[in-house]
Amino acid sequence: MFENLQVFENRYEELSEKLYDPQSAADPAVFAALMKESRELEPLVAAYREYKRCMEAVKGARELLESSDKELRELAQQELRENTVRAEELSEEINILLLPKDPNDGKNVIMEIRGGTGGEEAALFAYDLYRMYTAYAEGRGWRTEIVSLNETELGGFKEVSFLIDGEGAYSRLKYESGAHRVQRVPETETQGRIHTSAATVAVLPEAEEVEIDIDPKDLQIDTFRSSGAGGQHINKTSSAIRITHLPTGMVVECQDERSQYKNKDKAMKVLRARLLSKEQEKQSSQVAQERRLQVGSGDRSERIRTYNFPQSRVTDHRIGLTLYKLEEVLAGSLDELIDALIAADRAEKLSESMS
C-alpha cells in the first residue's frame, strides 16, 4: 500500500539537495520555487516515512509473536497494537494529503461584504461581520487593509471591500462565501420585535498579474473626491479611483488612501481577483457538477449561516452544526466552525475519490 508514494519521497530528497546547491541559492526565483515545492511535499513525505516505520514495526512484532519467551510475546503484542493503530491513522492522513489541492489555498484574500435584505439593520450586521473577520485575521497574525467602504449614518456598512494578507488565508476563509442571516431586535425597533436581516460575503483569492492579463485599453479610469457618511474621509483633492472594466462592465472603487496611485493599486487588485473568480467559476461550471456540500463555491445566493441573538446561537446550514456561543463567534472565534467545514469538505472529497 502507498508504494507509489516513493516517487514523492525521491522528489523531496532531490529538492533538498537542490536547495543546498549554491547555484539555486544564487537565483531568488528558482530558490523560492524549490522551497515552495519542498514545503508542499513535506507533510506527505513525513507521513509516508512514519507509515513505513510503523509497517516495519508491525512486521517485526508479528515475527516475535512466534517466540517461546512469554514476556517477549506480550511486548510484541503491545507493539503490534500500537503500530497497527498508528498505521491506520497515518493511512487516513495520507489519503487526505493526496486529495487534489485547491490552487488558490495559499493566496491572500479579498473579502467583500454587502448589506442585503433589512435596510439599516442589514448594514449594521454587515459591519458586525466585518469586525468578526478582522478580529479572526488579527488572531491568526494576518494583516487587513480596507480597499473601499460605503457607510451609513448609523455606522453600518452598505458595503466594504478589504484585503487579508496572511499564509493560508484563502484556504480557511473560502468557506465564508454566501448569504449570512441575522435574527435579533434592531436598535431602531421600538416594540421589541425580532427582525431577520441578511448580508452577503464574497471571498476572492487575490490574483497575480500573470494570472489575469488586463489590456489597459479595456479600462476606463476616473478620479473623484473621497466622501463618506457624516463627512468622513473627505479629501480636497481627487484621490479616489473608479475603474471600469469595459468588456465585463465590472466597476471597482477605492478611496481609502490619500494617494491616487495607492488607490489605483488597490482597485486593480480587486478587479483582478473578481476577473479570476469569474473565470474559475466559468471553468468549474463547464467541467464539474455542483457538489452536495456547497462548500467554498462562492455561491452568494445560498443562505449558509444564521446568527440568532435571542438564543445566542450560530447555525451553519451546510453541515447542520449549531453552536451556542454567538458572542465568541462574533468576536472572531471562527476556528470551530471553519474546522468542521474543512472536515466535511475532506470527507466529501474522500467519498468521491473512492467511489
pLDDT of 226 reads 64
Question: What's the CATH code, domain 109-287+295-348?
Answer: 3.30.70.1660
Where are the CATH 3.30.70.1660 domain residues in the chain?
A: 109-287+295-348
Q: What is the overall mean pLDDT for the chain? A: 85
> Looking at residues 267-275, what average pLDDT do you find?
85
pLDDT of 327 reads 96
* Phi, psi of 16, rounded to the nearest 5 degrees: -60, -40
Cell of 327: 458572542
- Quick one: pLDDT band at residue 12, thresholds 50, 70, 90? very high
Q: For domain 3-97, give its CATH number from 1.10.510, 1.20.58, 1.20.5, 3.40.50.
A: 1.20.58
- Quick one: pLDDT band at residue 227, thresholds 50, 70, 90? low
pLDDT in tens, 300-338: 446 899 999 999 999 999 999 999 999 999 999 999 999
**CA 236 centroid distance within chain:** 38
Residue 57 has pLDDT above 90, yes or no: yes
The least confident of 175-184, 226-235, 240-249 is 226-235
pTM here?
Answer: 0.69
pLDDT of 229 reads 47
Contacts 24+ apart (CB under 8 A), 227-236: 227/255, 228/149, 228/150, 228/151, 229/151, 229/152, 229/153, 230/151, 230/153, 232/151, 233/149
pLDDT in tens, 228-243: 544 444 444 567 888 8
Write the DSSP assignment of 47-113 as a string of letters: HHHHHHHHHHHHHHHHHHTT-S-HHHHHHHHHHHHHHHHHHHHHHHHHHHHTSPPPTTTTS-EEEEE
- Quick one: pLDDT band at residue 210, thresholds 50, 70, 90? low
**CA 13 centroid distance within chain:** 30
- Quick one: pLDDT band at residue 119, thresholds 50, 70, 90? confident
Distance CA 11, CA 45 (A): 10
Cell of 13: 530528497
Residue 298 has pLDDT above 50, yes or no: no
pLDDT of 48 reads 95
Stretch (H or E) spanning 353: helix 335-354
Where are the CATH 1.20.58 domain residues in the chain?
A: 3-97
pLDDT in tens, 136-158: 999 999 999 998 888 988 889 99
pLDDT of 320 reads 95
